[in-house]
Structure 1
Amino acid sequence: MSSEAVLTVRLVRSFEHRNFKPVVFRGVDLNQTVEEFIAHVRKVVSSKDGLPPPFKKFGYDTLKIIHQAHGAKTNELVMSLDDDDKLILRQGTTLKSSGVGHETELAFFRNEDYERFKANPKTSW
């Protein structure tokens, strides 16, 4: 199995308003640590053409697996609120050991916002 993968990272600015943008990363080394990948994503996002400035400067700090290739998708529009212990990527682990594989979709968000939304999961339009 190759350690290089294509990953889609969903930048989540607001859970309540379902405000997110997907960014595709190609040639991702799955043997890198979660911290290394977060640093890489922040660097790419901060200078990516076509992303509105609020997405570039947002304080993302947490990655969570939304779904794996050929797996079941959640019905949630932004991401599932379940299985955080299995799906949130932990610091000090590699992407591969965290369960990330080729064509995995990840959410990148601010954990503080996620915890607040989880406690009161209401959406507004």
Structure 2
Amino acid sequence: MATESSSITLTVRLIRSFEHRNIKHVVYKDITPDMTVKKFAEFVKTDIKTKAGLPPPFKTYNYDTFKIQHKAFGAKTSDPAINTENDDQLILREDTTLSESKVESETELSFFKREDYEKYKSNPVIMW
């Protein structure tokens, strides 16, 4: 992992269903900001497969996209599932590092399937 001075702590929101708000939070400490988004995605996917306390559907879901939900001391969205604005700035590109993507310590990242997000974005309805 990272040295203490250069490591960051991130919260990852695993979103399995936007409509039903099936969301679980996982905290990662000692993450290297120089890690690429693609490598971090692979790391999270591998880690959640054996993470205690996560229901099985979250462990095997096909997550493929990270989006910055909010940063420490920043404003939060009013949508309970995800911030659907500023995709061009907030969705992380696989070929960039976390630091190049402006991910700082205590940033909260949503991790989801892009296809599901686009469907939800076109019709943001919460079901109970």
Question: Which TM-score band applies after superposition, normalised by the shorter structure?
Answer: over 0.9
Residue 19 (structure 1) aligned with residue 22 (structure 2):
yes
Question: Which deviations, in whole Å up to 9, do the C-alpha atoms of 1:69-105 show, x marking residues without a partner?
Answer: 1111111112110000000000110000101000000
Q: 5+ unaligned residues in a row in structure 2: which ranges?
A: none
C-alpha distance in 1 between matches for 2:13 and 2:90: 14
1:51 aligns with 2:51: no
What are the ranges of 5 or more consecutive residues in structure 1 without an aligned counterpart? none
Aligned counterparts of 1:68 and 1:105: Cα–Cα separation in 2 = 6
TM-score by length of 1: 0.97
Q: 1:3 deviation in Å? A: 3.0
Amino acid at match of 1:45: I
What is the distance in 1 between the residues matched to 2:126 and 2:78? 14
SS across alignment from 1:24: strand
The CA deviation string for residues 35-86 of structure 1, in whole angstroms up to 9 with x for no partner, is 0000000011111011000000000000000000111111111211000000
2-structure distance, mates of 1:21, 1:92: 26
1:122 corresponds to 2:128: no
Q: Which amino acid aligns with 2:104?
A: G
Runs of at least 4 residues of structure 1 off by over 6 A?
A: none
Give distance in 2, aligned partners of 1:122 and 1:60.
21
Between the aligned partners of 1:93 and 1:79, the Cα distance in structure 2 is 22
Q: Which residue of 2 aligns with 1:94?
A: 97
Q: Which of residues 66, 71, 74 is equivalent to 1:68?
A: 71
Q: Distance in 2 between matches of 1:45 and 1:78?
A: 20
- Secondary structure of residue in 1 paired with 2:26: strand
Count of equivalent residues:
124
Tell me if the contact between 1:35 and 1:91 (Cα under 8 Å) persists in the aligned partners: yes
